[in-house]
Amino acid sequence: MKFLLKNLNVYYDRAFQKADILIVDGNVAAIGSGLFVGGDAAVFDFHGAHALPGLADPHVHLREPGFACKETVRTGTLAAARGGYTAVCAMPNLKPVPDTLEHLNVQRELIERDAAVAVRPYGAITAEERGEALSDMEALAPHVAGFSDDGKGVQSEALMRAAMEKARRLGKPIVAHAEDESLLKKGWAVHDGGYARAHGLVGNPSESEWRQVERDLELVRETGCAYHVCHVSAKETVGLVRLAKGEGLDVTCETAPHYLTLTDADLQDSGRFRMNPPIRSAEDRDALIEGVCDGTVDMIATDHAPHTKEEKAGGLAHSLNGIVGLECAFPVLYTKLVLGRITSLERLIEMMSAAPARRFGLPGGAIRPGEPANIAVFDLDREFAIDPAEFASLGRATPFEGWRVRGRCLMTVSGGKIVWRDDND
């Protein structure tokens, strides 16, 4: 199979250059000006669009096996492809939970059969994500990107220490959903921000996040484990991670588009604004932006978490936690952060492609001759409104609905195969 992508601004060797990309048998065969391909090979002329390394998301809920009414491997990875992603890490809150190799293989078979882009699953830290006993980490390790109990924090310090010790020996990171349940008020509803207070909703405080990160960092100092903090939302967590990096600890973290672009002042009484952790204050947002700019925040993940329409119909108080983001993350961040002169396009590529690829062993992260083609082509000038009705995902709940943004994905090439092409291009 051979095809040519012409007239692009290619992000190659950490700089943009006007060039064509020739792809042969799944690999980048050449990058250069005026490339020619004969025979019956397809040629796609992009008239100056930008070719980026395929995006990589380290935090995605594909919901299958167990919850196919919310999302499937097929629909979730098609959503990823439509958003310019060529690799994702799949979270383990599934049924069965991937806590043994037998359970993981159920998921792996679905991925092998249905995935449109590369998928690396996580193994669970604890059996059934119950926080009572460790999963079969040794059997899982060769097949997973790391270990996580996402959706729940590991409450037992002793169990987390044991998990870190084992993960270090196995050469895999612990990927932590940090949430101290002892700090959550019984019957908590949603947010700790201004809208929630005005409507009498009791929220999960930022301390529930940063206190557990603080505990875990002490354990990292003891064990030497590689540690990654999921969906950072609080200014205190940013400070803790910054100090840990200064000590030389093997620590990385992610935040999400909604924490960088929204504050509690933007909340509406709609399920599309409910997620965990919640959208917090302007001070928290500003601290996260500072972390993006100074390198404390390593990467941006969507925490793509689809639910059914009914599950998101209860407003802030009664909807399930989780929003979708794969299909709009890049244009939202390009519009708000790059066009807003907060950070550069090169830094955004680092956070959405190269950094997660390095940390979790994902394919891609760069466009290089001789390597598999993982490429996302974006028209950075094209403006459009985010319309969930167009999503490939089964989920439709996004706080970015109706936003006018720039940066339309025209084509996604994953592992040398065209997995998305904009019919309007």
- The residues annotated as belonging to the active site are 303
Report how far residue 259's alpha carbon sits from residue 303's, in angstroms, rounded to the nearest whole number. Answer: 11
How do beta strands 27-32 and 299-300 pair? unpaired
* Sign for the pseudo-dihedral over CA of 284, 289, 293, 298: positive
Query: Which secondary-structure segment (H or E) carries 415?
Result: none
Could you give the 3-state DSSP secondary structure of residue 28?
A: strand
Structure tokens at 173: 């990171």
Report how far residue 238's alpha carbon sits from residue 287's, in angstroms, rounded to the nearest whole number. Answer: 7
Helices 73-82 + 101-114 axis angle, to 10? 50
Give, in order, the Cα–Cα distances in Å from 214 to each of 177, 244, 334, 339.
13, 10, 32, 35
Give, in order, the Cα–Cα distances in Å from 146 to each of 59, 80, 87, 363, 379.
11, 20, 15, 15, 34
| Owner of token pair 């010790």 | 165
**Which residues, in sequence order, are CB contacts of 265 under 8 Å at separation 6+?**
193, 194, 195, 282
**Which residues, in sequence order, are CB contacts of 345 under 8 Å at separation 6+?**
334, 338
Structure tokens at 188: 């908590």
Structure tokens at 95: 């049924």
Cis bond upstream, residue 53 (ω within 30): no
Structure tokens at 58: 């380290």
